[in-house]
Amino acid sequence: MSTNFTEAFKFYKRKNPFPDLSGLVDAHSGQNNESLKPIRCSNAPENVTGFGLLSPEEWKIHELKHHPGLLVIRNPFTPSGQRYWAARCLKDFPKSPNRTNLQTQRLPEDSQKDFWGFFTATDDECVRKKLKSSLRWSTLGYHHDWDNKIYTEEEKHPFPEDLFSLTGILAEILNFPDYRAQAAIVNFYPQGSTLAGHTDHSEIDLEAPLFSISFGQDAIFLIGGTSKDDPATALRLHSGDIVVMSRESRLCYHAVPKILSDSQEIWNAEYFPETTLAAEMDGDLWEKCSRKSFWSPFNEYLRDCRINLNIRQVLSGNATTL
């Protein structure tokens, strides 16, 4: 589909008639794979599997030919790894003192402090439905000021150690030395939701890559150029896929015009638990995610929603403050 970013967004966002998906690039099915260039990475740090990842030798990494620096890692997670990180996104990352959009809405105060605790405790199905559709984002580490599009030292909390180490491993394998995760935005997408076209330019170090990890339902990810008049490419992202925006693609327009249904539930596939878990990981949560009774509400959420974990470095070099 050869069209500019604005036209492509409108095309894939529409509901009636439903858009033709034959133009999507899909690293899983091989659809339009002539747009993808295989990438080989030789760096493989120790203890990779301790973070819910497959061995790097099994990873399939591609670069989008018409968008240099846009990398796609085809689901490098084990099913148990997907469960752990999805649970972290829902159970822990929307908790106070992290920021969420719920703090600006007329919802019970307990839900604003602990979304998942309140969500799973209430028996009121109407309240659960409202909460599920209301939660749209949570921020970690440096909290982004959406109005002024800046980060400040006053709006900052400790960054999760397990997520810091996970992205450090990804950066090392992809040869991005000295990468340090310092801020994250967790986006929550109920069916029917979208993310409008934008660029990410609030960080001081714009040379550092952005890591974007998907869990749950599929999504159409649209990547264009530095102008909305530039041609755009649409990717179909599946649960566990990782998109890396680096080099030329780092400041390009991107968007999510549509959430797609995927009934595969790869996070529920048969799996063998990792024998050694990294010290930064929450071992208790990891073990609980293997229990059907504990995992069931997370599973229900993922069956019709998508989670996107977007991680970035804020500071330049070895700087410790803004």
Q: Is the dihedral of CA 15, 19, 25, 28 positive or negative?
A: positive
Q: What pLDDT, on a 0 to 100 scale, did the predictor assign at position 147?
A: 83
Q: What pLDDT, on a 0 to 100 scale, did the predictor assign at position 2?
A: 62
Maximum Cα–Cα distance for the chain, whole Å? Answer: 52
At 204, the pLDDT band (50, 70, 90 cuts) reads confident
At 262, the pLDDT band (50, 70, 90 cuts) reads confident
Q: What pLDDT, on a 0 to 100 scale, did the predictor assign at position 239?
A: 97
* pLDDT of 65 above 80: yes
Lowest-confidence range among 77-81, 123-127, 137-141? Answer: 123-127
**Average pLDDT of 88-96?**
97
What is the set of domains in the chain, with CATH numbers? 5-15+23-101+136-312 (2.60.120.590)
Q: What pLDDT, on a 0 to 100 scale, did the predictor assign at position 98?
A: 95
Binding site: residue ranges?
A: 198, 200, 254
d(CA 243, CA 175): 15
Residue 29 in tokens: 């099915």
* pLDDT of 1 above 70: no
* pLDDT of 199 above 70: yes
Model confidence pLDDT, tens digit, residues 145-189: 888 889 999 999 999 999 999 999 999 999 998 899 999 999 999
d(CA 89, CA 85): 6
Give the DSSP per-residue string, 218-246. Answer: EEEEEE--SSTTSB-EEEEE-TT-EEEE-
At 273, the pLDDT band (50, 70, 90 cuts) reads low
Binding site for Fe cation: residue ranges?
A: 198, 200, 254
Q: pTM for the complete prediction? A: 0.96
Q: Is the dihedral of CA 78, 83, 87, 90 positive or negative?
A: positive
Q: Is the dihedral of CA 115, 117, 118, 122 positive or negative?
A: positive
pLDDT above 90 coverage of the chain, percent: 82
Using alpha carbons, select from 141, 110, 149 the residue that is nearest to residue 127. 110
CA angle 5, 257, 241 (to 5 degrees): 100
